[in-house]
Amino acid sequence: MPPTITDNLEHGFKAHCRTQIQDDEVDEMDSYVKRITRYSDGTVKLRNSNIELMDQDILYHLALGSESHDLVEMFGDVRFVCMGGTPKRMENFAHFMMDEIGYKLPAGTMLQDISAYSYRYSMYKVGPVLCVSHGMGTPSVSILMHEMIKLMYHAKCMDPVFIRIGTCGGVGIEGGTVIITEDALDGQLRNSHEFTILGETIHRPAKLDKKLSRELKSLASPDDPYDTIIGKTLCTNDFYEGQGRLDGAFCEFSEADKMAYLEKLRSHGVVNIEMESTIFAALTHHAGIKAAVVCVALLNRLNGDQVNTPKEVMHEWQQRPQILVARYIRKVLAQTGQLKSLFDHQGSIKSPRRFKLVQQESQAHE
Ligand SMILES: O=P(O)(O)O[C@H]1O[C@H](CO)[C@@H](O)[C@H]1O
Ligand SMILES: O=c1cc[nH]c(=O)[nH]1
């Protein structure tokens, strides 16, 4: 009998080197991944036994280490890991979440960038919510994801949920629209991310959690003065030529070629383009971690290439995915009784202050 995908997975990556993974194999992979990525108490288990054998594990790009820091004490309560491109966006999100879940820092302390001394990524912790910047493009996200997944393991986190809060270009979708990714596609419209490991090319499925996407969509309010939709996301390795822009330093195709490409994307159900979703989906799926991608469109690419929306408007748009994700986090914490206990800890129940739509200070930085 030919080996199944599970047999192949159990014998390491070389055995399943191939360019495509069939749909029926993804389901088999899903249940296999669930089995091997959790300990019996529900905490995160790594798919790399080398780590257990190491005296210490230095999470170099986070400026943390398994011996130098008490990672269980520092991060053991994390339930949500929210990521986005810029340090400022994630700092703003952390402040926003403090209000949303009524979290107060110990008297006399301020929100600190935990990874400041890495000079790479920024990380803020607000109770069960970690807010981390990931930079631009898949290599930057890949490094961060390896270290964040290892952090979840060292900290013994229970079933963490990862959410990317980003920006994107809309394909036939107007600026300001919030887009939840249904499937992340690579430049060749494959629902997987291509890795080169030891010189071999392998693909891992870029699967996000469909139930989580639907739940996020259900939290869009009819009163929101903008649309929230679900659709396919194209993930590219470049902002200019890679996204069919005519305004890069180079362009060797015509406007007609570009429009034909965008129409082709549309006919495949693609509603937006960004630069991180396939690696984010592939690595969370490989780690058995529930994940979603929520972006706001900064422009409709059918109308142009330049991002020329006024800064204040763009700043307000960028808060929209954050508002949706905050509703989700509040809902989960309320369902598990944790929201109440966070509030009780304060001694009073605060009604969360609505996010101020324009924050002068943040505008100055973004
Ligand atoms: O707004 P963020 O999350 O940084 O993401 C988008 O913006 C960057 C390009 O401007 C790319 O990284 C793209 O994915
Ligand atoms: O067009 C856009 C806008 C934001 N981010 C992208 O990757 N592309």
Rounded percentage of the chain residues whose pLDDT exceeds 70:
86
pLDDT for residue 306 is more than 70: yes
How far is Cα 70 from Cα 64, in angstroms, rounded to an integer? Answer: 9
User: What are the chain's domains?
Assistant: 1-36 (no CATH), 37-349 (3.40.50.1580)
The tens digit of pLDDT for each residue in 199-209 reads 999 999 999 99
**Which residues make Cβ contacts (< 8 Å) with residue 58, sequence separation at least 6?**
64, 65, 66, 68
* pLDDT value at residue 194: 97
Output the pTM of the full model: 0.90
3-state secondary structure of 201: strand
For residues 133 and 19, the model is more confident at 133
Among protein residues, the one with the nearest Cα to ligand 2's atom 5 is 168
Q: How many CB atoms lie within 10 A of CB 46?
A: 17
Read off the amino acid at residue 316. Answer: E
**HEC readout, 170-192:** ECCCCCCCEEEEEEEECCCCCCE
Q: What's the Rg (C-alpha) of the chain?
A: 21
**pLDDT number for residue 364:** 41
Contacts of residue 75, Cβ cutoff 8 Å, sequence gap at least 6: 125, 130, 151, 152, 154, 155, 157
ipTM summary value: 0.99
What residues are in contact with ligand 1 under a 6 Å CB criterion? Answer: 84-86, 136-137, 166-167, 239, 274-276
Q: How would you class 239 by CB atoms within 10 Å of its CB: exposed for 0-12, middle for 13-18, buried for 19 or more?
A: middle
Q: How far is Cα 324 from Cα 347, in angstroms, rounded to an integer?
A: 27
> Both ends of the chain: CA-CA distance in Å?
57
pLDDT at 234 exceeding the cut of 70: yes
Distance from C-alpha of 32 to C-alpha of 10, rounded to nearest angstrom:
10
Mean pLDDT in residue range 92-115: 94
Residue with the larger pLDDT of the pair 17 and 213:
213
DSSP state of 14: G
> Given ligand 2 and candidates 165, 274, 275, 295, which is best to mutate, with the most ligand atoms within 8 Å of its CB?
274
**116 C-alpha to center of ligand 1: Å?**
21
User: Average per-residue pLDDT in the chain?
Assistant: 90
Mean pLDDT for 333-337 is 92
Query: Which of 205, 230, 227 has its CA nearest to residue 294?
Result: 230
DSSP state of 15: G
- Percentages helix, strand, coil for the chain (3-state, rounded to 5) are 40, 20, 40
Check residue 134 and give its pLDDT. Answer: 98
pLDDT the model gives residue 307: 98
Cα of 253 to ligand 1 centre, how many Å? 24
Q: Which among 307, 308, 317, 366 is the best mutation to test ligand 2's pocket, defined by most ligand atoms within 8 Å of the CB?
A: 307
Helix/strand/coil for 225: coil
Tokens describing residue 276: 């991180």
